[in-house]
Amino acid sequence: MDRNIGILTAGGDSPGLNAAIRGIGKAAHRTYGMNVIGFRDGFRGLMQNRTIRLDGSTLSGILTAGGTILGTSRDKPHKMPVGGRTMDMTDLMVENYHANHLDALVCLGGGGTQKNALHLAKAGLRVLTLPKTIDNDVAMTDVTFGYDTALTIATETIDRLHSTAHSHHRIVVVEVMGHNAGWLALGSGLAGGADVILIPEIRYDLERVSQAVIERRQAGSTFSIIAVSEGALSREQADNLDRWKTRKKNAANEYELRKATLKLEKARQEQAEHTHRLARKLEDLTRLESRVTILGHVQRGGVPSPGDRVLATRLGSACARYIDKGIHGVMVAARGEGTEPVPLEEVAGRRKTVPLDHPWIRSARSLGIGFGD
């Protein structure tokens, strides 16, 4: 009897998605005799039953391609915009799963996708996931595919900015992705020779950051490179956010709730613009010209690195093997050079942040790299 599996990609795009699709598809078909289909545009495609057959011709030539041939979206099964309303479309997804006679559904994505996959698993579907995100913040896996490529792009950017910073005696502030975890800034800052690294896990003091720049100048260095996670916060910003979150939670009446909501929105807007604000304040404190480079979505694009291709391929092929063994309700995690099926209950809702005693942080501190603390 034929066995059928479905694949979808959800959340933000990431280098290595096509390599993972190829790894799952080729291993499932060639080694285990399975038929493979893809659902277009994430969970919305599953809801609308928009499919594509993932056979040899479709999977050919995609190993080095960026993005995802299936398309992606951030839609949630139980909170999906449909016709101007937000609706729970779980039942329809379950119906389409069975209409395609699927033995398993593989969801490729980050933290949000792990939660959505667990939701479908609880609805009775046989679901497996692969950990994807350039932020490297999915719990219970050594690493996520997409991170190595983004790390390379961020490091190469810092490499290139050294020459212009040195030539013009500037402070160059480089913002990389990482709203809740600082793996990208930490890794690229360490690899690229940044002088200060600011990450969400360590609240920074602006005076200490400026003092680090001044001390470099006094020691004869005429420029400084600062690598910043998009989610990094000063102690003042963090305290402000926490204060208004608490006031909103404990609001005694409509007036207090409205005031706290507006203040919290303002604080979050300031957080979104924190890199430019940081650069302006450093100019005032150090009397050195500063420039900001924000990498943004360029970190997601382009050809995946060899490391990400290998990782995505071995996770994908392992996924097909687990399906053949009847294993489901798990994320296929990277463990050393191998893999491990981790129950989705242990992954969903958790985030892997940078431990404050991580060896990379210890190495950085021993080199004199500051964290603003």
Q: What is the dihedral of CA 121, 68, 186, 152, to 10 degrees?
A: 150
Beta strands 85-87 and 171-176: pairing type?
Answer: unpaired
120 contacts 343 by C-beta, under 8 angstroms: no
Question: Mean of the pLDDT values across residues 321-328?
Answer: 97
Question: Mean of the pLDDT values across residues 171-180?
Answer: 94
> Over the stretch 62-72, which tens digit does the pLDDT of each residue have?
999 999 999 99
Helix (H, G, I), strand (E, B) or coil at 85: strand
- One of 3.90.1570.10, 3.40.50.2300, 3.30.70.1140, 3.40.50.450 is the CATH number of 3-146+304-347, namely 3.40.50.450
**Residue 75: DSSP 8-state:** -
How much is the pLDDT for 343? 98
> Over the stretch 341-351, which tens digit does the pLDDT of each residue have?
999 999 999 99
> Over the stretch 270-283, which tens digit does the pLDDT of each residue have?
777 889 989 999 99
> Over the stretch 190-215, which tens digit does the pLDDT of each residue have?
999 999 999 999 999 999 999 999 99
How high is the mean pLDDT of the chain?
93
179 contacts 354 by C-beta, under 8 angstroms: no
In this prediction, residue 338 has a pLDDT band, given cuts at 50, 70 and 90, of: very high
Full-model pTM: 0.92
Q: Which of 118-122, 209-213, 271-275, 362-366 has the lowest mean pLDDT?
A: 271-275
> Over the stretch 26-61, which tens digit does the pLDDT of each residue have?
999 999 999 999 999 999 999 999 999 999 899 999
How much is the pLDDT for 1? 66
Distances (CA, A) of 213 to 2, 51, 225, 289, 365: 65, 55, 9, 12, 15
Domains in the chain: boundaries: 3-146+304-347, 149-300
Residues known to be catalytic: 135
How much is the pLDDT for 222? 84
Question: Mean of the pLDDT values across residues 329-333?
Answer: 98
How much is the pLDDT for 107? 98
How much is the pLDDT for 206? 93
In this prediction, residue 246 has a pLDDT band, given cuts at 50, 70 and 90, of: confident
Residue type, 296: G
Q: Which CATH class is domain 149-300?
A: alpha beta
Question: Mean of the pLDDT values across residues 346-362?
Answer: 96
Question: Mean of the pLDDT values across residues 114-125?
Answer: 97
> Over the stretch 251-268, which tens digit does the pLDDT of each residue have?
888 888 888 888 888 888
Complete DSSP assignment for 303-347: SPPHHHHHHHHHHHHHHHHHHHTT--SEEEEEETTEEEEEEHHHH
Q: What are phi and psi of 51, to 5 degrees?
A: -125, 165
The beta strands (E) that lie in 271-337 are given as 290-294, 330-335
Share above pLDDT 90 across residues of the chain, in percent, rounded to a whole number: 80
